[in-house]
Every structure is written in structure tokens, then in C-alpha cells.
Amino acid sequence: MGISVNQLETVEMFKTLDIESLSFLENNKVCQSFKKNKPLFVEGSYPTGVFCITKGKVKVFTLGESGKEQIIRIASDGDVVGFRAMFSEEPYKLSATTLEECNICFIKISHFMEQIHEHPELLQAVLKEISKESGERAMFIKTMAQKTVRERIAIVLLVLEDIYKEDPINLSREDLANFVGTATETTIRILKEFKEDELIEINGRKIILNDTNGMKKEAGY
């Protein structure tokens, strides 16, 4: 834990900030290393600040009555999580947990809001981010309602490819299933088919996409 410099530069949402306000945030952040499977925040509690991921992956999810997680988003380096609840003035509707070891900078609400009020371009960036998010979620609703499980698995693999970039996709089968919105067993069965069709390679829990175009066909676009 501690204060360190020049970590927020990589944060997408802060790209539009001038040096002055960026360094204000830099000076007021608290950076911390998180082990795997550590919660950043839990649905129902109230936000105290925002989390900027500088290294690692975080799952953002919500629990159903049965205790089953629905993953809404996998956040990665350069992403900010937990800012939505700040502006809706509600408790968190979602929880966030690290998927691997992470470096995360925490910025207190008061400091973040201070910069927002002084720097309209940050507000603009936040508004744009939340607007995009809301639009993507509408599309996700449609996907859930209209696509088969097979198509949804293909879609999620394509989304994850973007997030994991060069690296193989590295999620438990259960997390994968909870992102797709299906049973773990179904996920495993369909992954096996994709492997047999040479769309992916499987090394233990790691998945490598071999044929992005083929996968897009599976996704039904």
C-alpha cells in the first residue's frame, strides 16, 4: 500500500484531463495491491470512492436469490469501477471482486467530486462513460433474451478476447457460465464443441481463440 506516481495516466477515463488535475488525483489517490478474490465493494453498501485498476482483472457482478452470480462486466487495466452508484446517489447495486492479483488506486468521493466540479471535461468523460455503459447493457439485455446459450458463449468469448488481448482467457468455468447466464455444465459442453470445431484451444482453464471470424459466425452476427 502507499502513494505512487504516474499510475492514473493509463486510466482511460482520465485521458482528457489536463496535467494539473491529473496530478491532483495522483496526489490524492491511495494505491493498494489486492490478492486474488478480494472484494472491492459489495452490493447494498454505500460508495466511498472510485477504484482505478492499474493492473489485473476485476469481475463486477450481482447475486441472485439463489446465490448465483450474474457477471455484468470484467474490468481490466485502465478501467474505473464503482463510480455509477456515486452519481445515482444509491447504494451499490453491484459487487466487485478481484479475479487475480491487482494493483488498484482508490480515489475518495470528495476528491473525485472536487475535480469533477472544477474540470468540466472530467464530468464530460464520466457522463460519456456511463452513457456508453447504459447502451451496452441494453444490448446485453437483448442478447440474454434472444440469443441461444451457444451464441451467448461465443459472444462472451469475443468480448473476453478484447479484454484479455494477447493473453489467453483465464476465468473459471463457473465465472464464464455466470457471465453467459447459463449452467457450468452447459458451458463446458459447448466449449468442448468449439474446441472440436477448432475455434478455440483449451489449456486447463485457459482458453485461446483461434478463429475469431468463425466465432463471430457462431455468435450469429
Partner DNA sequence: CGAAAGATTGACTGAGTTCAACTGAAGTGG
Partner DNA sequence: CCACTTCAGTTGAACTCAGTCAATCTTTCG
Residue 36 and residue 98 in contact, taking contact as beta carbons nearer than 8 Å = yes
Instruction: Please tell me whether residue 72 binds a copy of itself under the rule CB under 8 A.
Output: yes
With contacts defined by CB under 7 A, name the span among 51-59, 78-86, 154-162, 167-175 that binds DNA: 167-175
User: Does 143 contact DNA by CB under 7 A?
Assistant: no
Q: Is 140 among the residues that bind a copy of itself (CB under 8 A)?
A: yes
Q: Which of residues 80-119 bind a copy of itself (CB under 8 A)?
A: 84-90, 93-94, 117
Q: Is 131 in the site for a copy of itself (CB under 8 A)?
A: yes
Q: Which is nearer to a copy of itself, 83 or 106 (CB)?
A: 83
Out of 3, 42, 139, 208, name the contact with a copy of itself by CB under 8 A: 139
Q: Which CA distances in Å does 98 have to 73, 104, 155?
A: 12, 10, 23
Among 138, 144, 188, 208, binds DNA (CB under 7 A): 188
Residue type, 134: S
Q: What angle do CA 215, 181, 189 make, to 5 degrees?
A: 55
CB of 91 to a copy of itself, least distance (A): 10
Does the protein bind DNA through residue 172 (CB under 7 A)?
yes
Give residue for cell 471482486.
Answer: 97
Which set of grid coordinates corresponds to residue 70? Answer: 450474474
The secondary structure of the chain in percent helix, strand, coil, rounded to multiples of 5, reads 45, 25, 30
The residue among 74 and 191 lying less far from DNA, judged by its C-beta, is 191
Cα 176 from chain centroid (whole Å):
13
Pick what 139 binds: a copy of itself, DNA, none; C-beta below 5 to 8 Å, kind-dependent.
a copy of itself
Compute φ and ψ for 189, nearest 5 degrees. Answer: -60, -45
Stretch that binds a copy of itself, among 32-40, 58-66, 156-164, 199-207 (CB under 8 A): 58-66
Closest CA to 74 of 33, 102, 49: 102
| Residue 156: count of CB within 10 angstroms of its CB | 23
Is residue 141 part of the contact set for a copy of itself (CB under 8 A)?
yes
Any residues with CB less than 8 A from the CB of 88 and at least 6 apart, and which? none
Residues that bind a copy of itself (CB under 8 A): 62, 64-66, 68, 70, 72, 84-90, 93-94, 117, 120, 123, 126-128, 130-135, 137-142, 144-146, 181-182, 220-221
